[in-house]
Every structure is written in structure tokens, then in C-alpha cells.
Structure 1
Amino acid sequence: MTEPSGGSSDKPRRPVVVPVIALTALTAVGVTALLGGLGEAPDELDTLGAGAVLDQGQYDTKFVETRVTVVPPESEFQDEKRFLEMVFDVTNKGDETADVGLPAPKPEQAYLSAGFGASLLKITPAFGKDAGPFVFAQAKGGETRQLQPGVPARVIVRYQLQENQPPPEKVSFEVAGFEFSPDFNSDIPRWQMITSEVGDKFLPEVKARVTMTVKKGAAT
């Protein structure tokens, strides 16, 4: 601070004291900003692996495995295809048929769907747009896009690998949860993804982190 004109002082300047609480608050705000908002997974979440079972609210989900599947060509004019597959055993705990769903391109778009696939967030490594995802459930009659109430179903989330593209060693992703709560527009209760409002976005709250080692060499 500049001394008033015509005066001087030999007194040492007083250090500015910042309360510890204020520093802690500023640090917390900075960390929250770096993480991208309150919808991120808290650090204390354990990482689940193959064989783990998670209660997602609307779904009971077992993380079965991640594997490479080779699909033979349907004719001599076609080539075989290789897919990275994420395999789940899913039971719809609701009273109505649910959509299998798809992973959303961006986390802030995931809340628009109550389908199981939409709850899979931040899949790593990322795959190109042409690679998928292709998602379906296996049923007695073949493949289906529906999950019937109370009926366990095997759900496959599939990404196509390009020619000579090596599969990853591991696949990691985050998983959102669902709650049965009044609809924003009609107040009628329904299953919807649990989210936090961050600015003008609704970001899914992360319920679990999952990492699975990729098994290679499966064939259909």
C-alpha cells in the first residue's frame, strides 16, 4: 500500500493472513472445476471387475467379461469381422418392459434414456463412430432390443475392430444408477437416471467404476 504523501513510517508491514477455511474452500472449488462438475465419480469408489454384481436401481447387473469375438463371413465375398464385446447379465427390476439402450456419445446426453446401455459412461479406450456401438440382448428367439420385467438377460455391447487393429488389453468404464421418481414434466413416477445439474447440463452421477481384462479368441 502507498504511504500518504508527507508521511513516512519505519514500522514493518503486517502480513496478510488468509484463514485456513478459505484456502480449503478455494482448493475444493478448484478440484471440482478440474473434475468437470459435481456429476463425476467420487474418488472413494472402488473399481469393480469381472464377476462383480451392481444394483443400479432399475437393473441388477453382473459384469461378466470383455472379449474379442470373431464372426465368420456369411459368403465367400465377405471377410470375417472381429468385435470387442462387453458382456453383462442384466435383470430389469421394473414393472414395465425396458429398452436395452445405447451408450451415449457424451455424458450429458445419457440422462435422456432409461435404457441399460445409456448407463455405461466414459468407455476407455474410445472407439470410432463407425465401430459402433451395437447393443442387443440374447433371447430364446434370437436377439432382442427389450428387457422384460424380472427376466434375466445377457446383454452384449459390441464395437467392431478394424483390420489389423489390435484389441486393447483392458476396457474401463463408469456406470450410472437409476431412481424411481416423479417425471419433471408430469410428476408421474418413472425410472430415470440419477443426475446432478452442473451449469446448463445434467451429468449422470457415477455409481461404480469397472475395469475388465479383454479375453481374446472367442468365435461365434
Structure 2
Amino acid sequence: MTEAPAGSSEHRRPVVVPVIALLTVTVVGIVALLGGLEEVEVPPKTLSQGAVLDQGLYSTRFVEARVTVEKGELTFEEDKRFVEMVFDVTNLGDETMSVGMPPAKPDQAGFGSSFANSLVRITPAIKEGKGPFTFALAEEDQTNQLHPGTTTKVVVRYRLDAGERPPEQMTLDVATFAYEPGFQDETVRWQMVTEQAGEKWVPTVQAKVTLPVKTGGSA
């Protein structure tokens, strides 16, 4: 029996290429085609009524949006109608925080750590002079405090003009917070997650929450 000549295909041993190596080559090739290793922008979560969002410093349940009516105390006083957005907010930090106020514009949210400061955009926009007004409820009394480890009902609302129809829905652009060092110093604290937009730093919108507006009811 003669040996197979050199270069013959007989008895040639197969070369085993690990699967992980093939996957690595494939991924690198795809990344190269897409223009290199770049961060992929993650779109905001789309949430609706009843959803719960972990905001780092707060855990927030988006309860509802509704129209409420405050009856005039005197016979000649007009009733006041409001659109209210209601939240169950749990302070996950170690310090008492404030309810705060939504910013007039997203780039004015700054570095505040109050709850309402994270509602960086409200759509439809609230008319000047009509709000927003914010408060929390503690045993039916209004307060501005959110105590650690406690879930508190928070209301953000604005007033409707006489005869004005409420919107069908409210949409909120919501930011989150991270416990990390500041820009100017290394003090670790809760601060809003931001991103650079041109020469400004603006809040990163982590979720867009849409709430249908319920009509009827009284305050």
C-alpha cells in the first residue's frame, strides 16, 4: 500500500475553528461596516397609565391624569377647573426631598434633585399664569416634603380657562437621577442624568409617559 503523495487531499485532518472566533470576526465586520465602534443611542421608554419607573432617587407610579373642579366658596365665585397629573412617589434616598416644580424648559432643569424637576417637558404646554402647581398629600394635608422610604401621592396641575376643553391626553418627558460625583467636585450626590446638546447640558429623557385625561369629578 503506497502512501498518499504530499499535497494529496487523502487523510487531510479538518481544521476546527472555534465558534466564538467566527462570531467575533462577524461582529467586528458588521461594526466596521457601520462606521466603527460608536455608542448606540437608546430611545426613551414608552410608558402609559399605571406604569412604574425607577428614577434612581425615586420610584414613580404614574397613576392618572384627570379634570377636577374646586367649587367656589361664595355664591358669586366661579368654580375652578384643573387638569391634574397624579403620581405615587417613593423616595429611595436617605434624605427628605422636595416635590419641587417642573422646569419651564428642559434646559432649565439644571441640576436640581426634586421630583417634579424630573418632569422636563409636559405636552400640551401649560399656559403662562395657569400653572404648574405642585403639592404632595399627607393625610389629606398638602406638603412639599417627600420622606425617605415613604410613598407619597404627588399632584402636578394647571388651571383651565372658563369654557376651555381639557386635552385628551398629557405626555410627560421624564428624566432620572444617578448617585455620582459632580462636574466641579468629587462629592458624590444624587443628580440628574444629563447629556450634551451643543454647548448645553440637558436632561436625558429616560421615558415618555402618556396619560389619558379623565373628565368629571371634583377636588
- Give TM class, smaller chain: 0.7 to 0.9
Cα distance in structure 2, aligned partners of 1:169 and 1:71: 20
Deviation string 1:21-58 (CA, Å, 9 cap, x unpaired) is: 9xx77xxxxxxxxxxxx9xx844x34211110000000
Amino acid at match of 2:137: Q
Residue of structure 1 equivalent to 2:69: 70
AA aligned opposite 2:183? F
The answer for the alignment partner of 2:165 in structure 1 is 166
Residue identity opposite 2:67 in structure 1: V
Is 1:131 matched up with 2:130?
A: yes
Equivalent in the alignment of 2:178: 179
> Once the 2 structures are TM-superposed, how far is the Cα of residue 121 of structure 1 from its aligned partner?
2.2
Give the whole-Å Cα distance in 1 for the aligned partners of 2:97 and 2:199: 28
Deviation at 1:143, TM superposition (A): 0.4
- What is the CA–CA distance in structure 2 between the aligned matches of 1:143 and 1:128, rounded to whole Å? 24
The AA in structure 2 aligned to 1:112 is F
Aligned to 2:46: 47
Q: Cα deviation per residue 1:99-124 (whole Å; 9 max; x = unaligned)?
A: 10111011111133111101112211
Deviation of the 1:141 alpha carbon: 6.0
The Cα of 1:194 is off from its aligned counterpart by 0.3
Residue by residue, what CA displacement relative to the aligned partner does 1:133-189 show, whole Å, maximum 9, x if unpaired?
000000026000111111100000011000000000111111100001123344221
Between the aligned partners of 1:151 and 1:83, the Cα distance in structure 2 is 27
Contact (CA 8 Å) 1:113, 1:192: kept in 2 or not?
Answer: yes
The answer as to whether partners of 1:85 and 1:157 remain within 8 angstroms in 2 is yes
- Whole-angstrom distance in 2 between the partners of 1:46 and 1:141: 33
Aligned to 1:4: none
| Compared CA separation, residues 132 and 126, structure 1 to 2 (3 A) | same
TM score, norm. by length of structure 2: 0.79
Are the equivalent residues in 1 in contact too, given 2:45–2:206 (CA < 8 A)? no
- Corresponding letter in the other structure for 2:158: Y
Instruction: Sort the Cα spacing of 1:166 and 1:141 in 2 relative to 1 into closer, same or farther, 3 A.
Output: closer
Distance 1:127 1:152 in 2: 27
Corresponding residue of 2:147: 148
- Could you say which residue in structure 1 is the equivalent of 2:11? none
Aligned to 2:113: 114
1:214 equivalent in alignment to 2:185: no
1:188 alignment partner in structure 2: 187
Check conservation: 1:111, 1:192, Cα contact below 8 A.
Answer: no
Identity of counterpart residues, as a percentage?
48
Separation (CA, whole Å) in 1 of partners of 2:157 and 2:174: 17
State the one-letter code of the partner of 2:64.
Answer: E
- The TM-score normalised by the length of structure 1 is 0.78
In the alignment, structure 1 residue 59 sits paired with structure 2 residue 49: no
Task: Report the structure number with the largest CA radius of gyration.
Answer: 2
- Deviation, structure 1 residue 208: 0.6
What residue ranges of structure 1 are gaps of 5+ in the alignment?
Answer: 1-20, 26-37
Q: Which runs of 5+ in 2 are unaligned?
A: 1-30
